[in-house]
Amino acid sequence: MRVIVDSLEMASNVPKASEPPKASGLATIAAIATPLGRGGVGVVRLSGARAYDIACTLTGKSAFTPRMASFCRFYQADGTVIDEGLVLYFKGPHSFTGEDVIELQGHGGMILQNQLLARVFELGAKQAGAGEFSYRAFDNDKLDLVQAEAIADAIDATSAAAASSAIRSLSGEFSKKINQLLEQLIHLRLHVEAAIDFPDEEDVDFLSDGVIQSKLEQTQDKIQQVLATAKQGQLLRDGIHVVLAGRPNAGKSSLLNRLAGQERAIVTDVAGTTRDTLQETVVLNGLTLHLTDTAGLRETEDTVERIGIERARTAITQADMLLMVYDVTRDLEEEDTPLQLAEQLFGELPEAKRLLIIANKSDLLSDLLDDSSSQIHSVSQIAIKERGYEQVNVSCETGAGIDNLVEALCAKVGFHPPENSLIARTRHIDALRRTADSLAEAHEQLTVFQAGELVAESLRQAQNSLGEITGAFSADDLLGKIFGSFCIGK
């Protein structure tokens, strides 16, 4: 069982992170580990003290050799055959969960798998809860919390980059970085505690000799490096929610189709064709984009279109990134600028970091502008840049500028994953930020006030925040939420 001990406190004073509520407790658990449906192979997985005996009774075999496949028939209580296939036995603690594990590999198909699972339940196994196999692996020190989460992230990955990053986290690369930082914090705390406990030592003044400050600043730099890597990992895992908004017939649906690479949205010359939000997920340059096409923003008496516009405005408020699409041939009055159009459409001008202006039909611009209007257009572009905004010229008809749009979007959200990126979650980012804040407090208490006790307390808080990432310090509700999001057979 996992025992978590703060390196500077007695073990009896530190409660073990207990497991989330599970009806099966420490009973032998079982679940179908492959997707239900028609397939060549279906796997039922068991874990627990009775898994081996259940397999023997189910198959009529007297023994199984660990890590060797055995061909068997699976029998009902009356001796009729349910199915036939392979039995794999992994003897604890040398298994995924750390317990005895049995995998029954039969034919795929809902009926056969459910009959086999029902028979396993008759023999004493209990239905596994969501993520319970992974929780037992975590609880038996086979995985830490980051590695357990990486299992789910690998399964749910929406791109090759996200999948490979999740596998690197599963192999322990992310955990290694966190554990190295924890070791640095432990040594820092030891130095500070020594300064507090031995204030009368004449040889060395631990708080003012510069050693602690140097080590603290090194740790702060390392935290910032890991935080930057984690932010990239979070973008790889979660992607960004992008909303396309603008006036009717500005080219929003055409842009969605261009980015998706297929005709997902209906495109016509009739204003108000799009009356509801339409979602599509695409991966461009390694970044997952959750795209939402919206109804054109305008005043209307049409009840259905008005509901669509209300949903569009809701989506706009929830977007990570907003693409304001406008038609350069008609959406701007003679002296209007795109920023003025944005204020008209959204009620107020969105933040520059959240808004990207898309000038559609830019391939027609040179034919439409005379010398005076061309000068006005150039002034408009300068004004956009001066205020920190960015415009990308595209043609949804020809595809011109789409690559520039994708590059600008990646730059806006700061997406430039390193070759060996690691998957990360929002909670990891939050824990790293709180760690960084605690270290900043410790630095101030050390350099400004020379307050050893307050430095020690800030370092303790930093260690606790960092320990949440791997599960060294985890509340029951956090563990329940994390493992509850897993598949039943994982």
Q: How far is the C-alpha of 232 from the C-alpha of 169, rounded, in Å?
A: 13
Nearest to 141 by CA among 6, 17, 51, 45: 17
Residue 142 is labelled as binding a ligand: yes
Q: Could you tell me the two tokens for 468?
A: 């949440």
Q: How far is the C-alpha of 355 from the C-alpha of 322, rounded, in Å?
A: 5
Distance of CA 50 to the CA centre of its chain: 36
The enclosing H or E element of 153 equals helix 145-156
Amino acid at 140: N
Residue 414 is labelled as binding a ligand: no
Residue 168 is labelled as binding a ligand: no
The 3-state DSSP class for residue 127 equals strand
Provide the phi-psi class of 199: left if phi over 0, else alpha when psi is between -120 and 50, else beta. alpha
Residue 285 is labelled as binding a ligand: no
Q: How far is the C-alpha of 42 from the C-alpha of 126, rounded, in Å?
A: 19
Residue 271 is labelled as binding a ligand: yes
Residue 183 is labelled as binding a ligand: no
Residue 490 is labelled as binding a ligand: yes
Residue 55 is labelled as binding a ligand: no
| Cis peptide bond upstream of 93, omega within 30 | yes
Residue 125 is labelled as binding a ligand: no
Nearest to 179 by CA among 424, 420, 466: 466
SS3 for 72-116 is EEEECCCCCEEEEEEEEEECCCCCCCCCCEEEEEECCCHHHHHHH
Residue 146 is labelled as binding a ligand: no
Beta bridge partners of 46: 30, 102
Residue 460 is labelled as binding a ligand: no
Packing angle of the helix pair 426-444, 211-238 (nearest 10 deg): 160
Residue 270 is labelled as binding a ligand: yes
Residue 250 is labelled as binding a ligand: yes
Provide the phi-psi class of 282: left if phi over 0, else alpha when psi is between -120 and 50, else beta. beta
Residue 269 is labelled as binding a ligand: yes
Residue 249 is labelled as binding a ligand: yes
Q: Which residue, chain included where needed, has tokens 């701007």?
A: 332
Q: How far is the C-alpha of 226 from the C-alpha of 174, rounded, in Å?
A: 9
Residue 438 is labelled as binding a ligand: no
Residue 398 is labelled as binding a ligand: no
Residue 103 is labelled as binding a ligand: yes
Residue 447 is labelled as binding a ligand: no
Going 444 to 445 to 450 to 452, the CA torsion angle's sign is negative
- Going by the annotation, the residues of the binding site for Mg(2+) are 253, 274
- Going by the annotation, the residues of the binding site for GTP are 249-254, 268-274, 293-296
- Going by the annotation, the residues of the binding site for K(+) are 249, 268, 270, 273
- Going by the annotation, the residues of the binding site are 45, 103, 142, 249-254, 268-274, 293-296, 490
- Going by the annotation, the residues of the binding site for (6S)-5-formyl-5,6,7,8-tetrahydrofolate are 45, 103, 142, 490
